[in-house]
Amino acid sequence: MIRKGMKLYSILFGVCPKCHQESMYLNKNPYVISKVIKMHDQCSHCKTRYQMEPSFFYGSMYVSYGVGIAFAVAAFITTYIIFETSITTAFISIVLTLVLLFPVIMRLSRNIWINIFMKYDKSLANK
């Protein structure tokens, strides 16, 4: 299934994009709101710097738009089409989904963004 070495592993679990050995975040739980985007400066295993250039993660805002739309569409399909609720209920479910999953969406966007620029390196993982 999803294992180390796959980009999806780094994206879903927020681990170092090059070695997949440790979390990029100070706190693994995204719902500790004060630390939702606090990251280590570099990977302690392979010494990869996560912030490749100043303001590197501003670019993840573009990704978060797409990720947010994906969650909103999923919420809409679930409530309006599968459970056949009213359009108002479907709208409320979209808003609730986006608010409650905001920390998850932020982290997923950062993980996708950094994985666009870095890829898994088996030699670093085995160091």
Q: Chain-centre distance of CA 36, in angstroms?
A: 11
Q: How far is the CB of 109 from Zn ion (least distance, A)?
A: 20
Q: How far is the CB of 52 from Zn ion (least distance, A)?
A: 13
Residue placing its CB nearer to Zn ion in the complex, 27 or 44 = 44
Residue placing its CB nearer to Zn ion in the complex, 10 or 109 = 10
Cα separation, 16 vs 44, whole angstroms: 10
Cα separation, 117 vs 40, whole angstroms: 18
Cα separation, 98 vs 100, whole angstroms: 6
Residue placing its CB nearer to Zn ion in the complex, 48 or 60 = 48
Residue placing its CB nearer to Zn ion in the complex, 48 or 97 = 48
Q: Is residue 5 a contact partner of residue 124, using CB atoms and an 8 Å limit?
A: no
Please report, as ranges, the residues that interact with Zn ion according to CB under 5 A.
16, 18-19, 43, 45-46, 48
Cα separation, 4 vs 55, whole angstroms: 28
